[in-house]
Amino acid sequence: MSIRIHIGAHKTATTELQRALLQTTKRLARGGMGFLGPETLRGEGFPFHLALRSTQPALAEKVAGLFDDRLAQFRNLLISEENILGTTARTSVIGRHGQLYPGAERLSSRAFSLLRGRDVVLFLAVRDPADFVTSAYSQQLRRPLPLHHDVYLRDFSLPAISWTDLARRLLNQPQVQKIICWQYEDYAVLRPRILTEMVGRRAAARVPPSRVVNSGISAAAYDAFVAEALTDDETPTQTLLRDACRRFPKSPGEPSFRILSSRVHDESRAQYAQDLDSLAGLDRVRLLRPQPGDGAPSPDAADPDGSPVAR
């Protein structure tokens, strides 16, 4: 028996991967693997999302029993739920001292307890910190009453954002046997290998091809949205953003909006490269990197956020 948990991070093509795996649920089941994604884990029938943040013993036992049932039915279980780390809300994704996902230890410990302490293998995608925080903020823009980006960035500290630190905190959980990581920027190339690690080679070959799910917000759309929001206090901000994105869609080659300076982005790239080396050096962490023979994206391919694929 094995339990594999894809824990995100947010804004690293999680939705695309989850939807593709959902379409393959029946095929995976025939091979002895159960799949649980957000469509199930955030529903009334399987209230994992509630149990993750609740201390009610009855709710915890109900969810633990549901996991028991799945593990009695399938030899292996694949779970995909990025909210085990936290959410993209300001204080959930960036801690008071700039730490990435400050509640990750508490939430993951709770998740593992709902699995009755069974051993797990984690799957984690990482991303350039400046791009990650910007994309996380874009998620909040789509919610009612979004914060201005200056407020959202109040606790942002580039030196404090470390995927290596997050991995160490997850590895401190005794149930975590290893973490398989990859760069979001390499996702298009590595996708077949990621899926093979998750579900095996035969099942991976049957997962539908990648497609754009969240197209992202263009710089022009964000500027138009801010201008409208400052003068229109009646129309819901979600409607204003949707209209701006419709007028100025994000397409390959179109610049994404930014809430951080070019200097910060340059510093972020340099820090990210060092952090990746540190991450790859951790015991029980395997960082997938492109190799000869990995599938290459087409010249006009776009990543799942709508930006040109990194090469």
The pLDDT score that the predictor gives to residue 126 is 98
Q: What is the mean pLDDT of residues 48-55?
A: 95
Per-residue pLDDT of 237-268, as tens digits, reads 989 999 999 999 988 888 889 999 999 999 99
Q: Which CATH class is domain 2-214+261-288?
A: alpha beta
List the helix and strand counts (H, then E) for the chain: 15, 6
| Mean pLDDT across the chain | 91
Provide CB contacts within 8 A for 153, sequence distance 6+.
133, 137, 259, 260
User: Would the pLDDT of 194 be above 90?
Assistant: yes
What band does 295 get if pLDDT is binned at 50, 70 and 90?
Answer: low
Residue holding tokens 């954002």? Answer: 161
* CA separation for the pair 79, 75 (Å, rounded): 13
Per-residue pLDDT of 140-168, as tens digits, reads 888 887 888 899 999 999 999 999 999 99
User: Would the pLDDT of 299 be above 70?
Assistant: no
Ordered alpha helix ranges (H), 149-291: 149-152, 163-171, 187-199, 201-204, 219-231, 237-247, 262-280
Per-residue pLDDT of 202-251, as tens digits, reads 999 999 887 766 678 999 999 999 899 889 989 999 899 999 999 999 88
Report yes or no: 47 and 63 within 8 Å, Cβ to Cβ.
yes
pTM of the model: 0.90
Q: How far is CA 199 from CA 110, 132, 144, 214, 282, in A?
A: 25, 27, 37, 24, 24
The pLDDT score that the predictor gives to residue 250 is 87
> So where are the chain's domains?
2-214+261-288, 217-255
Distance of CA 97 to the CA centre of its chain: 22
